[in-house]
Amino acid sequence: RITKALPPDIMGKSIPLDGIFDPEHPRHGEAGEIRTMYENEPDVKTVIDTARGVEGLTRGTGVHAAAVILSKTRLTARIPLHMRASDGVKITGFDYPSCENMGLVKMD
């Protein structure tokens, strides 16, 4: 019922939940039904507030098959690392764009 009240996706992209409540968002006008539900139904408010707290968080991780991150200093001093249990390979806790923004280099 809640998802049916959301504006439909456009080219596979949904309106962010914050956009529903932001009058400056270009699709704000399409979200009147869900805003009304949010304001009048406590259960809907709880669901949406919870969803807003997790929207945009990483759902899973992946590892590039042949990538290596290079640094002038020890990686353990710059980024979080974890060791893959299956083979002991050290893996960054950041995605590549974050590593790149820190001045690290990825080699494939």
Residue 49 sits in the same domain as residue 21: yes
Q: What are the backbone angles phi and psi of residue 68, rounded to the nearest 5°? A: -135, 135
Residue 42 sits in the same domain as residue 13: yes
pTM: 0.58
Give domain status of residue 44, yes or no.
yes
Please say whether the beta carbons of 102 and 79 come within 8 A. Answer: yes
Residues of the domain holding 87: 68-107
Residue 38 sits in the same domain as residue 73: no
Looking at residue 42, its pLDDT comes to 97
Residue 47 sits in the same domain as residue 77: no
pLDDT in tens, the chain (108 residues): 999 999 999 999 999 999 999 999 999 999 999 999 999 999 999 999 999 999 988 777 778 778 888 888 898 889 999 888 899 888 888 888 888 898 899 888
Looking at residue 62, its pLDDT comes to 76
Last residue of a domain, one of 12, 32, 54: 54
Q: How far apart are CA 33 and CA 4, in angstroms?
A: 10
